[in-house]
Amino acid sequence: MSEEQNINQNNEPKEDKFLAEENKIRLVTGPDGKQFQVNPLDDYFCDKRPQVVAPKNKIIEKFLNWARAESLWVLGFGTGCGSIEIPPLLSPRFDAFRYGVQMRPTPRQSSVLIISGYLAVKTLKRAIRTYEQMQSPKYVMALGSCTINGGMYYDSYNTINRVDQYLPVDVYVAGCMPRPEALLAGFVKLKERIKAGNAEGANEYAEKFDWYKANQKKIIKNWNMPDYNW
Amino acid sequence: MNDIIIKLLWTLLGLFIVLNWGMLMGASMRKIVARVAHRRGIPIYQPWLDLIKLYAKRTSISHGVMFYLGPVFRLGGGVGIFLFLPLIYGSEYWSNFSWAGDLVLILYFQFFGMLGMALGAGEGGHPNSVIGITRGLSQFTTVEIPLTLAVISLALQYNTLSITEIVAAQQGGVQNWTLFTNPVATVAGMLSLLGALRHAPFNLVKAPNEVPIGPPTEYHSAFLGVLRTNGAVLHVVEAALFMNLFFGGATNWAEFIIKTFLIYFWSVFVGVVHPRFRIEQSVVWFLKIPLAIGVLAVILYI
């Protein structure tokens, strides 16, 4: 890791075949008629490292953690076959609203990311981007045996085996596939963890940022996005 | 000088009551919707927890000055309506800062928050917020037309633009309420209230299960907390405005709470039995029946 704040580890030129068309360096004409060069990866995205935010005073933090635990906003982002288990949660039969679980459509507003099943390399990239756009404190729940040891995809060429190598996971829900009841039990477990003050995944991610990034880049060959993009 | 400070303190207390009542109403609405769908629904204290959690988020990011000011303008709109709205008729302290032309000012404040939100959401730069704010502004413009016509009809009827005077004219029994003295304007107003409170079928703009959540796509942490605070205040003051205009105002807090809840419940009741409109459907709907009724209400009093 270089000493400067910019954390672009690969020093090779950014002009590569994977770069999306809109992210390539280009000339733009401003409203005043002047032409200037735009490098979207540097100009449009943030490349500041995540910071560790220490918990506040013990008593206040206990109260805040209680509020955080009782108000889990889940991102509606399905990664594998497990995503089919999430919609029934909101149906009259399981009714996760009772536990303070609500769905949010945007990563900015949500606090829980559910990795719902196997993660293909392509999806891992999206999951990382999504996780980094969420605001701290944030929690990750991994669903199904695929996220624990690869499950039935353990020897697949295109699927990762262990999610916690790439994202800090708070709660695993085992099963193939876990029933919605198991998912609810997972939420209850996550609540216990948050209330006990142990769910500091966002801080852990910031502390071991280099390790996580190195792992991620080992898997994702076509890294054509900024290193940290909130 | 002292009088002003004391009045300000009473107004802040009123704002606190209105905020909590708004959150309780929002929670009860979600409970009702859940019971209709055969669910138990959220705990009744969920909105408070959500708010605490949002304000207690550890990180937040900004997209620029307007991104900061968007929620502030939105809250300014909601609190602005509150400041100039008499809550309890006949009470010196609970009538806030209402004065001669407050009706016009309140109509202006209703749009003010929306415009501030448009600027903030625009700077957020997310395509979904631009779509959302376009939808929101076009729907709210059509909502305002029948409402404004109803208000003009009321102004012609009572020959005043002061809400306190309109409430005063309705005292002395149910038969003096605008509901009975000017039913046409009441119908136009109540139909536009459905859009102003933004429940189903007119909740496309901010419905979380629409693909773009709407203007607040990029808003998070305390920004969203401010927006939610405003939402709670706005629900009560909208209901209180309609209570003052059409249902004889309130002379004590019990009356205030019962009337605002029933007016709010009207939109919830319509919401749970109707599916959501697409934006072009709701725009066209407001420009048909409510607009025709509003025009009729004005014609009757010219």
What digits encode the pLDDT tens for the residues B12-33?
999 999 999 999 999 999 999 9
Tokens 């102004």 correspond to what residue? B155
Q: Which chain A residue's Cα is nearest to B50?
A: A71
Interface probe with B: pick from A108, A111, A139, A205, most Cβ of B within 10 Å? A108
> Does residue A7 lie within any of the structural domains?
no
Interface probe with B: pick from A43, A109, A134, most Cβ of B within 10 Å? A109
CA distance B71 to chain A (A): 15
Tokens 């609810």 correspond to what residue? A184
Residues A117 and A199 in one domain: yes
Q: Which chain B residues touch A68 with a CB distance below 8 Å? A: 53, 56
Residues A124 and A21 in one domain: no
Interface probe with A: pick from B33, B38, B53, B55, most Cβ of A within 10 Å? B53
Residues A16 and A37: their CA atoms lie apart, in Å, by 18
Q: Which helix (H) or strand (E) segment is A114 a member of?
A: strand A112-116
> Does residue A23 lie within any of the structural domains?
yes
Q: Which chain B residues touch A70 with a CB distance below 8 Å? A: 43, 46, 49
The shortest CB-CB distance from B49 to any of A100, A111, A135 is to A100
The shortest CB-CB distance from A106 to any of B37, B60, B217 is to B217
Query: For residue A26, which of A9, A44, A12 has the smallest C-alpha distance?
Result: A44
Residues B80 and A72: their CA atoms lie apart, in Å, by 32
Residues A40 and A137 in one domain: no
pLDDT digits (tens, 9 = 90+) for B52-63: 999 999 998 888
How confident is the model over B27-48, as a mean pLDDT?
A: 92
How many domains does one find in chain A?
2
Residues A71 and A101: their CA atoms lie apart, in Å, by 6
pLDDT digits (tens, 9 = 90+) for B130-179: 888 888 899 999 999 999 999 999 999 999 999 999 999 999 889 999 99
pLDDT digits (tens, 9 = 90+) for B261-297: 999 999 999 988 898 998 899 999 999 999 999 999 9
> Does residue A155 lie within any of the structural domains?
yes
Which CATH number belongs to the domain containing residue A147 in this structure?
A: 3.40.50.12280
Alpha carbon B48 to chain centroid, angstroms: 19
Classify residue B159 by its DSSP letter: T
B45 has pLDDT over 50: yes
Alpha carbon B90 to chain centroid, angstroms: 23
> Does residue A2 lie within any of the structural domains?
no
Residues A190 and A115 in one domain: yes
- Binding-site residues on chain A for chain B (CB distance < 8 A): 46, 51, 53, 64, 67-68, 70-71, 92, 95, 97-98, 100, 102-106, 108-109, 111, 135-137, 202, 230
Q: Identify residue B275 by its one-letter amino acid code.
A: P
- Its pTM stands at 0.89
Tokens 């400070």 correspond to what residue? B5
Residues A162 and B19: their CA atoms lie apart, in Å, by 46
Residues B282 and B143: their CA atoms lie apart, in Å, by 9
Residues A9 and A223: their CA atoms lie apart, in Å, by 11
% of residues, chain A, pLDDT over 70: 91
Model ipTM over 0.95: no
Any residues with CB less than 8 A from the CB of A199 and at least 6 apart, and which?
Answer: A137, A139, A170, A190, A193
> Does residue A1 lie within any of the structural domains?
no
Q: What angle do CA B81, B83, B88 make, to 5 degrees?
A: 100
What pLDDT band is residue A10 in, cutting at 50, 70 and 90?
Answer: low
How confident is the model over B222-250, as a mean pLDDT?
A: 93
Asked if A103's CB is within 8 angstroms of B220's CB, the reply is no
User: What CA–CA distances, in Å, run from B17 to B65, B94, B253?
Assistant: 31, 11, 10
> Does residue A146 lie within any of the structural domains?
yes
Residues A148 and A190 in one domain: yes
Residues in chain A: 230
Asked if A100's CB is within 8 angstroms of B42's CB, the reply is yes
pLDDT at A5: 46
> Does residue A197 lie within any of the structural domains?
yes
Domain holding A211, by residue range, is 59-219
A9 has pLDDT over 60: no
Residues B200 and B233: their CA atoms lie apart, in Å, by 19
> Does residue A191 lie within any of the structural domains?
yes
